[in-house]
């Protein structure tokens, strides 16, 4: 489950197959179709490095459910499976924001992605609701409520740094509270692709693509989404997500979505 916050972020810079077992699925509603002419990515076509962010960790357990389901453990287990499969089948570099049971703040997670110059950020979570009947995977992308003004505020600012014995070095400065604003269109395209693939492998909610002011996405300077893989407050889903079959299917959905998103980027003209 994602924690939201309206606290302002500090300014900063961006640093230098498994098999596909099919679990029983409910009648999945249609996912909003991708636009006929998807928005062009915010940079040239490129997908070399992916950051997978296992939500929660340490004393932050996240959501909990029946059968001993704990969100922080499930997100790490899925992230490790996704990393291994992407590296093996897609030959991409995958970085995990955490590889053990420790807590990270949203700014630390964003810094790992930015400092690794990632081309895609995927934060993994499991949902919770007061309504036990709530079920299905969902994908969230950042809401940019200020529209074009937000985009204009996200423009790079160049800082020239002196270097002893060499030519000055130019560094592009990006406000962390504006970083994701430059990628909202491409992040939406990524969210749609992910929702479509999730719907082919695991139960999906009636409204699978949503936009929210998510703190974990705000400072990420690349296409980025949050995947809520299931509702742990749903007793049936809490038990199902702990099975190897469900985790393999969820992994396959994410890997397939990454492959399709890479193809989408490769078809775009460099900006």
- Fold of domain 45-143+155-266: Aminopeptidase (3.40.630)
Q: Which two tokens stand for residue 147?
A: 């529209």
55 burial (CB, 10 Å; 0-12 / 13-18 / 19+) is buried
- Residue 91: pLDDT band (50, 70, 90) is very high
pLDDT at 147: 44
Alpha-carbon 185 to chain mean position: 14
Span 174-190, average pLDDT: 78
The residue ranking higher by pLDDT, 93 or 145, is 93
**268, 45 in Cβ contact below 8 A?**
yes
Write the pLDDT tens digit of every residue in 190-213.
Answer: 999 999 999 999 999 999 999 988
Q: What is the pLDDT of residues 110-132, one digit of tens each?
A: 999 999 999 999 999 999 999 99
Q: What does the angle CA 201 – CA 241 – CA 206 come to, to the nearest 5 degrees?
A: 55
What residue ranges do the domains of the chain occupy? 45-143+155-266
d(CA 75, CA 100): 11
Residue 72: how many other CB atoms lie within 10 Å: 24
Residues 6+ apart with CB under 8 A from 240: 23, 230, 246
Q: In degrees to the nearest 10, what's the CA dihedral of 192, 195, 197, 200?
A: -140
Least trusted range by pLDDT, from 18-32, 74-88, 158-172, 188-202: 18-32
> What average pLDDT does range 249-268 have in this prediction?
94
Q: What angle do CA 241, 92, 186 make, to 5 degrees?
A: 80
Q: Average pLDDT, whole number, for the chain?
A: 80
Contact predicate 127/204, CB 8 Å: no
Question: Max Cα separation, the chain?
Answer: 66
Total-model pTM? 0.74
User: Would you say 185 and 142 are in contact if contact means Cβ atoms under 8 Å apart?
Assistant: no
Name, in order, each residue with C-beta under 8 angstroms of 66's C-beta and a sequence gap of 6 or more. Answer: 235, 238, 239
pLDDT at residue 21, rounded to an integer = 40
The SS3 of residue 96 is strand
């Amino acid at each position: 489950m994602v924690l939201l916050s309206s606290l302002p972020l500090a300014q900063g810079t961006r640093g230098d197959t498994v098999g596909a077992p099919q679990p029983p699925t409910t009648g999945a509603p249609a996912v909003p179709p991708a636009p006929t002419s998807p928005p062009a990515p915010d940079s040239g076509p490129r997908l070399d490095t992916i950051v997978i962010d296992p939500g929660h960790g340490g004393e932050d357990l996240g959501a909990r459910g029946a059968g001993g389901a704990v969100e922080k453990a499930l997100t790490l287990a899925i992230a490790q499976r996704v990393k291994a499969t992407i590296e093996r089948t897609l030959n991409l570099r995958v970085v995990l924001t955490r590889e053990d049971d420790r807590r990270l703040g949203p700014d630390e997670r964003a810094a790992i992605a930015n400092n690794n110059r990632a081309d895609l950020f995927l934060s993994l979570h499991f949902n919770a609701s007061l309504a036990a009947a709530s079920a299905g995977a969902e994908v969230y992308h950042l809401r940019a409520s200020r529209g074009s003004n937000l985009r204009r505020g996200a423009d790079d600012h160049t800082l020239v740094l002196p270097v002893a014995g060499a030519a000055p070095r130019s560094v592009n400065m990006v406000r962390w509270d504006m970083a994701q604003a430059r990628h909202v269109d491409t992040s939406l395209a990524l969210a749609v692709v992910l929702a479509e693939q999730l719907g082919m492998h695991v139960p999906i909610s009636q409204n699978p693509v949503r936009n929210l002011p998510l703190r974990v996405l705000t400072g990420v300077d690349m296409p980025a989404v949050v995947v809520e893989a299931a509702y742990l407050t749903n007793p049936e889903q809490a038990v199902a997500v702990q099975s190897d079959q469900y985790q393999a299917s969820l992994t396959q959905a994410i890997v397939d979505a990454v492959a399709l998103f890479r193809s989408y980027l490769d078809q775009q003209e460099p900006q």
